[in-house]
């Protein structure tokens, strides 16, 4: 019984010390998605990604056209083909289907990798600006409201305008 009372007393003391020590805490928040969208470099990255995606799509379209042509030729001539030729054509069509599927998977992965490569310098620049603003304004914590992690918060300062100013964005 005595141990329980001592434990509760220690918990209350620790809790009150923590609450008292947090008076100097300054919390701000920012919507990082809004910041990244406002950054002028993002437009250039978006354009590069669209061009790359269009190149991949064009290649895929050529492959699909080739597939449709081969299937059409096969269907039109299969009645006059020998079994060996039919098997060869079916194998060609099946191999082409496999190549198209593999290309789609590779293209998606490549596009994601390219997006990450192009966005990383912008993300790093935004992170540095956020860090600078936080240090200059004595913030203890900056929360990202775009992630949806903050379910409840006491009023905090939105530092988006300050970070945009730091980056020279209007």
What pLDDT shows up at residue 141?
84
Cβ–Cβ under 8 Å, residues 109 and 76 = no
Burial pattern 99-138, b for ≥16 Cβ within 10 A else e, equals: eeeeeeeebeeeeeebbeebbeebeeebeebbeebbeeee
116-149 residue pLDDT tens: 999 999 999 998 998 899 889 888 888 888 886 5
* Mean pLDDT in residue range 64-71: 95
- In the CATH scheme, what is the code of domain 24-167? 3.30.910.20
Cβ neighbours for 134, distance < 8 A, ≥ 6 positions apart: 28, 142, 159
Q: What is the pLDDT of residue 58?
A: 97
- Rounded to whole angstroms, how far apart are CA atoms 150 and 39? 24
Could you list the beta-strand ranges (E) of the chain.
Answer: 27-30, 141-144, 157-158
pTM score: 0.66
């Amino acid at each position: 019984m005595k141990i329980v009372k001592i434990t509760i007393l220690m918990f209350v003391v620790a809790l009150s010390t923590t609450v008292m020590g947090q008076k100097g805490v300054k919390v701000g928040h920012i919507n990082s998605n809004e910041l990244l969208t406002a950054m002028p470099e993002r437009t250039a990255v978006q354009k590069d990604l669209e061009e790359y995606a269009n190149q991949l799509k064009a290649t895929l379209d050529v492959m699909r056209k080739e597939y449709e042509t081969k299937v059409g030729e096969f269907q039109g001539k299969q009645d006059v083909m020998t079994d060996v030729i039919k098997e060869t054509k079916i194998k060609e069509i099946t191999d082409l289907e496999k190549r198209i599927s593999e290309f789609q998977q590779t293209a998606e992965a490549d596009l994601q990798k390219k997006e990450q490569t192009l966005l990383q310098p912008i993300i790093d620049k935004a992170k540095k600006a956020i860090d600078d603003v936080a240090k200059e304004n004595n913030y203890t914590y900056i929360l990202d409201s775009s992630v949806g992690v903050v379910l409840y918060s006491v009023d905090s300062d939105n530092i988006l305008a300050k970070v945009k100013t730091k980056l020279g964005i209007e």
